[in-house]
């Protein structure tokens, strides 16, 4: 059985929080191991509300240094310290985020009993920034008023499973099995070649998730991002506010949906809405007119990537 991969929305509003929408934060979870994406004000409260196992977080990904994406960070780090965290926490963020953290740390005079390791992001092309046994993460530059990155989370590919009948039929040695699982054909003593696909069961295709916030439409230029299972793209404004979106470095609903269509993604979820909108159904209709598999996120919702 495949490990479950889920995305939980902790905050889906933009700069001004509302009673129904916190500022930006999400949890990507692989087999119940959580990774935090952005950390707007109130994120740790949202994690408590929605049952996130905070002690298991070892990596945090911050898109940029605007307040609605980082104001919850220091409070969360301080809470981790108060509750006795000892294992390191790795933060992948623009260099400004580390400077902001150091200013707060100096102001409060706090001594942390666990290591906080900052990894500065690059704004030049797609970069591998993180890897563990379950997942790899790439960053890519967005188009905002400050340096900003999106993130591609990709499940690690599993090895092919070799058929037991093939092992018996072709009398495969350990060395043969390793070669076949790596993709090689098998040559019998009499010279016959057994094709690899006759001996293995191919693993399922790795699942992919893109997090893309605070940007003018731009990511459909990246061929590497095509065909992902799930795309989160900001849609701060409706299509009538195209000029305002351009001025502020944001996207409209139709622009986000066009990006999803161009990238041939399976499903688009929209967030980072301006607090001016009380009814989001017109925004959803605009997006669906361009890309039918468009959905409006709500705080607390969890999406399973199948």
CATH number of the domain to which 21 belongs: 3.60.15.10
Q: Tell me the pLDDT tens digit for each residue of 99-132.
A: 999 999 999 999 999 999 999 999 999 999 999 9
203: pLDDT strictly greater than 90: no
305: pLDDT strictly greater than 90: yes
- Do 152 and 213 belong together in one domain? yes
- Do 145 and 222 belong together in one domain? yes
- Do 226 and 121 belong together in one domain? yes
Q: Tell me the pLDDT tens digit for each residue of 15-40.
A: 998 989 999 999 999 988 999 999 99
Looking at 174, 201, 228, which one is the last position of a domain? 201
Which of 38, 68, 214, 238 is flagged as catalytic?
Answer: 68
Looking at 201, 225, 256, which one is the last position of a domain? 201
- Do 266 and 148 belong together in one domain? yes
Separation of alpha carbons 92 and 47, rounded Å: 19
* Residue 117, Cβ density class (10 Å: 0-12 exposed, 13-18 middle, ≥19 buried): exposed
- Do 115 and 185 belong together in one domain? no
- Do 210 and 197 belong together in one domain? no
Give me the DSSP letters along the chain: -PPPEEEEEEE-B-SS--SS--SSEEEEEETTEEEEE---TTHHHHHHHTT--GGG--EEE----SHHHHTTHHHHHHHHHHTT--S-EEEEE-HHHHHHHHHHHHHHT---SS-EEEEEPP-SS-EEEEE-SSEEEEEEE--SSS--EEEEEEEPPPPPEEPHHHHHHTT--HHHHHHHHTT--EE-TTS-EE-GGGTEEPPPPPPEEEEE-S--S-GGG-GGGTT-SEEEEE--B-GGGHHHHHHHT--BHHHHHHHHHHHT-S-EEEE-B-TT-S--HHHHHHHHHH-SSEEE--TT-EEE--
Pairing of strands 5-11, 302-304: antiparallel
Q: How many domains does the chain have?
A: 2
- Do 183 and 132 belong together in one domain? no
- Do 184 and 224 belong together in one domain? no
161: pLDDT strictly greater than 90: no
Domain that holds residue 177: 163-201
Structure pTM?
Answer: 0.91
- Do 246 and 108 belong together in one domain? yes
185 is catalytic: no
- Do 188 and 241 belong together in one domain? no
Q: Tell me the pLDDT tens digit for each residue of 124-144.
A: 999 999 999 999 999 999 999
């Amino acid at each position: 059985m495949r490990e479950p991969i889920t995305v939980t929305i902790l905050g889906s509003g933009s700069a001004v929080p509302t009673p129904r929408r916190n500022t930006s934060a999400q949890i990507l979870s692989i087999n119940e191991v959580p990774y935090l994406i952005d950390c707007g004000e109130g994120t740790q409260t949202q994690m408590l509300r929605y049952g996130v196992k905070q002690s298991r977080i070892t990596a945090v990904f911050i898109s940029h240094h605007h307040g609605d994406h980082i104001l919850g960070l220091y409070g969360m780090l301080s809470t981790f310290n108060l509750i006795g965290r000892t294992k390191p926490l790795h933060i992948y963020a623009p260099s400004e985020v580390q400077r902001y953290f150091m200013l707060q740390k100096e102001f409060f005079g706090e001594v942390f009993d666990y290591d906080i390791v900052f990894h500065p992001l690059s704004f030049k092309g797609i970069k591998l920034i993180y890897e563990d046994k379950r997942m790899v993460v790439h960053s890519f530059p967005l188009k905002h008023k400050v340096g900003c990155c999106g993130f591609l989370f990709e499940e690690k590919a599993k090895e092919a499973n070799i058929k037991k009948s093939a092992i018996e039929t072709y009398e495969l040695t350990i060395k043969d099995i390793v070669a076949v699982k790596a993709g090689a054909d098998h040559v019998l003593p009499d010279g016959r070649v057994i094709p690899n696909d006759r001996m293995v069961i191919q693993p399922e295709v790795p699942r992919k998730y893109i997090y893309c916030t605070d940007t003018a439409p731009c990511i459909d230029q990246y061929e590497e991002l095509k065909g992902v299972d799930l795309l989160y793209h900001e849609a701060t404004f409706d299509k009538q506010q195209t000029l305002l979106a351009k001025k502020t470095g944001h996207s409209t609903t139709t622009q986000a949906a066009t990006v999803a269509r161009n990238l041939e993604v399976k499903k688009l979820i929209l967030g980072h809405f301006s607090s001016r909108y009380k009814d989001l159904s017109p925004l959803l209709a605009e997006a669906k007119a361009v890309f039918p598999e468009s959905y409006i996120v709500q705080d607390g919702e969890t999406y399973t990537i199948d």
